[in-house]
Structure 1
Amino acid sequence: MENFRLRVFRAVAEELSFRKAAEVLHLSQPAVSQHVHALEEEAGVQLFDRARGGGHGSQISLTEAGRVLLGYADRAAETMVEARRALAALNDETVGPLRLGASTTVAQYLLPRILGAFLKQYPQVKLSLVSGNTEQIVEAVTEKKVALGIIEGPAMRREVKTEPMTQDEMVLIVSPNHAWAARKGGEIEQKELAKVPLLLRERGSGSRRVVERALKKVGLPLRSLQVAMELDSTEAIISGVEAELGVGFVSRWAVGKVLRLGTVRVVAVKGLEIRRDFSFVRLAGAEMTGAAAAFQRFAMGAKSAIS
């Protein structure tokens, strides 16, 4: 939908080469030169300084007029992309880029169950995914680096709005060789947690916030515990437990495979149940549209299949 001469001009401006722009656009170099020359005649200004390169095949530079026009041309291209999305929405068609952010547990264990089916239904969506801890994903949303995030802890920012997606449970895992693994009834007392090395996620992690709050609520603040390590992923905690470096709380989503392999065991803590929501997060006051809105609807519809 973009004016073709402006598209050619933007390609030349980006590559600073008529030859390279021709390759990108799948045109001949003379055709690219003709489009730019016609645009210069129409605008009544010179857009490129060709003096330095000694020919259209060499490096060139934008003139001041070229830099001014490029700003408007870029905005015009963005407007046409938005127009295309709006028109597609009228036909219930979802196209274009989708920038998602997901906290570590969600990205590793939950999203793979959804994304394949979503992209099969919406093949025109171009997906990019950023992962990090909850704090990092919320930051990416506020900085508009992603259109929609999925996090595993409280957002802790006023600029964003959260909506529950599905529920998760944090469970305590131990090595099969740990004394608690053979405990009759498979349950320990809360106070016993203070007697063993504990592996925790790093500060800023949603998992850590949820665990820390739950333990504090039952009278076990972190200062009363033996925090042996702070690790940057659920996988690192699982590996640490398998290596008998300590015990740790992880998402139930994460332990299906290792439980089947028998490399860890889940142990219940009497009177302690740690549940949380995986939540969508987006800018407060911003209306969800296009591919992001379609993905949120799809994920909500798919949650019964993934729970």
Structure 2
Amino acid sequence: MIENFRLRVFRSVARHLSFSRAAEELLLTQPAVTQQIKALEDEFGVPLFDRGGGRIALTAGGQALLPFAEKMREIGDEAIAAVAEANGHHAGTLELGASQTIGQYVLPNLIAEFLKTQPRVHITARSGNTGQMLEALLARQIHLALIEGPEQRKDIRVEPFMVDHMELVVPAGHEWADHEIEPAMLAQQPLLMREFGSGSRRVIEQALTAAGVKPKDLRVSMELDSTEGLLSAVEAGLGVTFVSRWAVRNQLALGTLKLARVRGLKLARRFSMAYPAGPAPAGAVGAFRSFLLARIETTGRRRRGGA
């Protein structure tokens, strides 16, 4: 990093509102973080954090400094990227957000493949449901959001980069295991679903409606905020669920869960990347976007029997 180190410490404390969490993030001791903040406050001649009442909050001075600290980080990243690009490489920080399915099952492999050709890019990633990641994107907390399905909004651009298939998952000894059922039969079983705001849930409800099954007719017995929670609940015999094919591979290999087919139900969806409306991203962000788009082209050629 070529930026002022004290500002980097300030941003971390401001983000977490915790000296101890900032110390963990920066691999420093808590007294070292306190010392850096004290030195910065001495430079400005005003306190930047209110430490009263056992809680930490930004003072008026800290709130005024924060946007400039963010701008200086961005300028530092741009400088690093410009020097790297002048020599035919990419560098700098790439901050990604991903829906939980993508973040847990797809993103690690994508990052590993990308870093083979761009090892100087520093990547951070966070996960949440699709709605949360779009909020983080518009708040400029991340550069790209990898989400489940398209979002029709004027303030973001969305481009697909992968097709995903969702499967009906049942306990290993369930009567539907390895069988095909009619869509209406789904109303007979307890159904486990992701929370509202989840891209997975939206895709499932739209597909069921298209197949003639109204969401109000389903017996949604439990809502969980993670795919792993859904799978564990199915293994415990609490119901059946729909999850990405990526998510259930290990359980199918071990035989702890089985698949069932639903006649006429189309549950293919697109994994997409989203970024703020405007010019296409450049630098490390643009390089990762191009990497994802190139994967689509390669996959398409393979499906057509090309090279």
Residue 278 of structure 1 deviates from its aligned partner by 0.2
Counterparts of 1:255 and 1:202, CA distance in 2: 19
Q: Give the one of 93, 96, 112 matched to 1:100.
A: 96
SS in structure 2 at match of 1:97: strand
Residue 80 of structure 1 deviates from its aligned partner by 4.8
Counterparts of 1:252 and 1:86, CA distance in 2: 40
Cα 1:123–1:199, aligned 2, differ >3 Å: closer, same or farther? same
- Residues 212-271 of structure 1 show CA distances to partners (whole Å, capped at 9, x for unaligned) of 111111221211110011111111111111111001010011111111101111111011
1:266 maps to 2:248:
no
Residue 83 of structure 1 deviates from its aligned partner by 3.4
Cα 1:139–1:60, aligned 2, differ >3 Å: closer, same or farther? closer
Matched AA of 2:290: R
Alignment of 1:127-166 (within 5 A): 127-166=123-162
Contact 1:166/1:277, CA 8 A, preserved across alignment: yes
Residue 149 of structure 1 deviates from its aligned partner by 1.1
Counterparts of 2:163 and 2:256, CA distance in 1: 25
Q: Give the one of 191, 200, 209 matched to 1:198.
A: 191
- Residues 133-173 of structure 1 show CA distances to partners (whole Å, capped at 9, x for unaligned) of 01111111111111111101332432111001010111101
Bigger CA radius of gyration: 1
SS in structure 2 at match of 1:169: strand
Which position in structure 1 is the counterpart of 2:226? 233
Contact 2:194/2:227, CA 8 A, preserved across alignment: yes
Alignment of 1:257-296 (within 5 A): 257-296=250-289
Contact 1:150/1:279, CA 8 A, preserved across alignment: yes
Counterparts of 2:74 and 2:214, CA distance in 1: 51
- Residues 187-222 of structure 1 show CA distances to partners (whole Å, capped at 9, x for unaligned) of 001111111100011000000000011111122121
Counterparts of 1:286 and 1:280, CA distance in 2: 15
Which position in structure 2 is the counterpart of 1:181? 177
Counterparts of 2:9 and 2:232, CA distance in 1: 51
- The alignment-based identity, stated in percent, is 42
SS in structure 1 at match of 2:116: helix
Matched AA of 2:202: R
Contact 1:153/1:205, CA 8 A, preserved across alignment: no
Cα 1:13–1:293, aligned 2, differ >3 Å: closer, same or farther? closer
Cα 1:221–1:93, aligned 2, differ >3 Å: closer, same or farther? same
Counterparts of 1:8 and 1:173, CA distance in 2: 50
Cα 1:196–1:98, aligned 2, differ >3 Å: closer, same or farther? same
Counterparts of 2:258 and 2:243, CA distance in 1: 12
1:89 maps to 2:85:
yes
Which position in structure 2 is the counterpart of 1:110? 106
1:217 maps to 2:210:
yes
Matched AA of 1:124: R
Q: Give the one of 44, 47, 62 matched to 1:62.
A: 44
Which position in structure 1 is the counterpart of 2:200? 207
Contact 2:233/2:239, CA 8 A, preserved across alignment: yes
Counterparts of 2:144 and 2:10, CA distance in 1: 32
- List structure 1 segments (4+ residues) > 6 angstroms apart after TM superposition: 8-14, 70-73
TM-score by length of 2: 0.74
Cα 1:62–1:153, aligned 2, differ >3 Å: closer, same or farther? same
TM-score by length of 1: 0.74
**RMSD of aligned Cα (Å):** 3.2
Structure 2: 5+ residue stretches without partners: 12-25, 27-37, 47-60
Counterparts of 1:100 and 1:226, CA distance in 2: 36
